[in-house]
Structure 1
């Protein structure tokens, strides 16, 4: 098996999971990586000379330094970045652009070279840097407390999901969540298919169970892919899930409270949506048409885990 280094996002997730007390095998399972990869990352990039702690910014900086030292000396010209500039305009990440170019036989431009090009452009007064996604926000510490969310009778725990759902072996198994705006009760509901990454977005006037159910049932009926199961968190907006099960013929499962990695596809998709709807943005004026435009953008963006195919292509492969 060919070894692939962790991405920057994975390093931040690794650090967060270590702080929660998870073991290396548990972290490896949450990230979909081999445990040896996690051991190697921690051993190689922890601050052993200080306190032995693992710090993602320092680890990422060390990786970039090592890559610069090992560069093959390939010279890139301005013409090599013409397509890069176009794809940045579509809010693709440097890694997605690099993978796309490689997949389609274009001249290989590493994501690190694209980042350096962006920073040089910014220093010269350019605006390419504005196409990059927001950096990860610092997370507040979570303290142990009684969790009263999701105390529903008869709900199915995520551990009861069939093995094909866990292994993403078939289509039709989705994850659901709501994304809230600032200053109003308006929000959106997102559905992500686990095997293809295909995304659906619906506008909600509020986070009530009635609004959530109505929008979710509409999305299910209009979905181009089958919807057999849905995995949710323990938010109160999902308390009337049995109505959706009855009307849409699906099964609901619920993740463990505060275990966001159990719904990794949805967490990742919500992070991508925040590029278009930042946290301080009011969603009062957001329309369903705008939600569908964001859908199209993200469903046509290549993903590393699919060999830089898009969710749209993955959907068609299963059709």
Structure 2
């Protein structure tokens, strides 16, 4: 879910955070211009424009309509590409990249994954459900994996393979309803998938512009190795809408 920042005062002289880059990616999928994104994030237009150029790649996409498939090339912005370019530029300056946004969460997450052997998925969900931090600094599970792969965290991929506990012990003493798990958890995917070495592994996400779950949304499917992307417009982010779109596409 995209959080809108209504602060229109431009912040000059500071780099975009990875959280802001993810917001840009969501806004670009909704078709917003760089100027509109700058106003929403309280950032100068040129700052947004420069970062969009750094994080944009050309890819071949496929859309299915009325039983026919259409292929075309287009330029797409990705937050992780933007951040990778940022890190490389910083390393060329002889300085170690410094992660300042959300450092409290990073320190806490490292402790839970290294000491308590929690998985990234458990860390993110526990932090959100217990409101341990402001929602703006709690990343998604995918983003947390990216932080680990990028060396932002003290936790390494090898540490995740050695974890022994998959459930945090309750600190509030209240029972939680059993939760059904469909398929294999993201925390159990092989190292070759994390490092994007093999083809055929997809990431699925929904992007909405408002908090109302009934509003139309975008369903995105991205192949991890090639970044090949499929985008569908769906009625809402409910499971029924997502399932219907996937069943139609696969049939």
What TM-score do you get using the length of structure 2 for normalisation?
0.34
Higher normalized helix content (fraction of residues): 1
Larger RCO, structure (CA 8 Å, separation 6 or more):
2
Q: Please say which structure displays the higher CA radius of gyration.
A: 1
Higher normalized strand content (fraction of residues): 2
